Amino acid sequence: MADASKDKDYLMGVDLGGTKILAGVFSEKLECLGRSKKSTKAQRGPDKVVERIATCVADAIDECDLEPKQIRGIGIGAPGACDPETGTVLFAPNLVWKHYPLKKELEKQLGLPVFVENDCNIQALGVFEKELGGKPKSMVGIFLGTGIGAGIILDGKLYSGFNRTAGEIGHMVLQVGGPKCGCGNKGCFEALASRIAIFGMIESAVEDGQKTLLTDMLGNGLDDMRSGDLRKAIRKGDKLVEKIIEEAAEYTGIAVANVINLLNPQVVVIGGGVLDALEDDMLAVIVETAHDYAMAGTFDGIEILASKLGDDAGITGGAVLAKRHTK
Ligand SMILES: [Zn+2]
């Protein structure tokens, strides 16, 4: 629990997703002291979502027996392109937001300084500071979830690119003429290895009459399928699921090789819900494939690791962002 000091010693991280909002209160040393969770209800529009974020933040502060004035700053990750200088969400397809002044609106509600970044950038920051102690010169974090994104850290700082959209690794084309992606292109990494892609491949295999234990576990409609169900099926010897996950891991390995050829980062960290559930089935394949595809001599000493932060990567990174801006 937090101590009774009234100093501004605490940081707040918020992870704004398409379906849920997570908020966490952190100490200066990035220990999570308390958290809260709320559904996003994006269909109610941005102003209502901001009210829900404010409630979620207030709940997390209350959970820690703190007062809002003890929070030094709030770092928030939004699922889309963001302008960190103005705190505007430029484009967030999952929320259906365009040019929304998130920083301004949230500061109005909370009366605390707010800093906005892209969600994958923020997750990468969280992994970099909390798991790696901020030590590597450079790191790329790749997050395999509903979609796929990355955050790039060069010389200890986030690299966001000319239009602030760097790290859109999910739309790197890995299979020319491959499956259609949500972005309109074909054969994107995200269309081959994201949760949506993996579940889609399993569903069409079942429609084609292929056998999987998942239908015994979840019924023929594969209702409420989760990444953890895939792990259970593989443990029970499900060859179909094993093959689909192995292929997703191979594509991830090829993406990692491309990243290593392009940026030569000291560390590549893989995270996100799909990897959290299937690390034992994916990580070794990812590392081996990356080795096979990276140009000779580019790989020496580079580490490829799985993040252990899971769902906490976003809120932890938010706290890091707030810490970096309020020193
Ligand atoms: Zn795409």
3-state secondary structure of 37: strand
If you measure from the C-alpha of residue 188 to the centroid of ligand 1, how many angstroms do you get, rounded to a whole number? 5
pTM of the model: 0.93
Contact 71, 61 (CB under 8 A): yes
Q: List the shell of residues around ion ligand 1, using CB closer than 5 Å.
A: 171, 181, 183, 185, 188
If you measure from the C-alpha of residue 3 to the centroid of ligand 1, how many angstroms do you get, rounded to a whole number? 47
Of 2-16, 241-255, 271-285, least confident by mean pLDDT is 2-16
- Looking at residue 163, what is its pLDDT? 87
- Decide if pLDDT at 98 tops 70: yes
If you measure from the C-alpha of residue 248 to the centroid of ligand 1, how many angstroms do you get, rounded to a whole number? 15
Express each pLDDT in 196-221 by its tens digit. 999 999 999 999 999 999 999 999 99
- Looking at residue 8, what is its pLDDT? 75
- Looking at residue 6, what is its pLDDT? 57
Exposed, middle or buried by CB within 10 Å (0-12, 13-18, 19+), for 58? middle
- Decide if pLDDT at 3 tops 60: no
3-state secondary structure of 210: coil
How far is the CA of 195 from the CAs of 72, 248, 284, in angstroms?
36, 10, 19
SS3 content of the chain, % helix, strand, coil (to 5): 45, 25, 35
Mean of per-residue pLDDT scores for the chain: 95
What percent of the chain stands above pLDDT 70? 98
Contacts of 149 (CB under 8 A, 6+ apart): 118, 119, 120, 142, 143, 167, 168, 169, 170
- Decide if pLDDT at 2 tops 70: no
* Calpha distance 133→136 (Å, rounded): 8
If you measure from the C-alpha of residue 282 to the centroid of ligand 1, how many angstroms do you get, rounded to a whole number? 22
- Looking at residue 5, what is its pLDDT? 52
Of 6-15, 66-75, 172-181, least confident by mean pLDDT is 6-15
* Calpha distance 317→225 (Å, rounded): 28
- Decide if pLDDT at 93 tops 90: no
If you measure from the C-alpha of residue 98 to the centroid of ligand 1, how many angstroms do you get, rounded to a whole number? 19
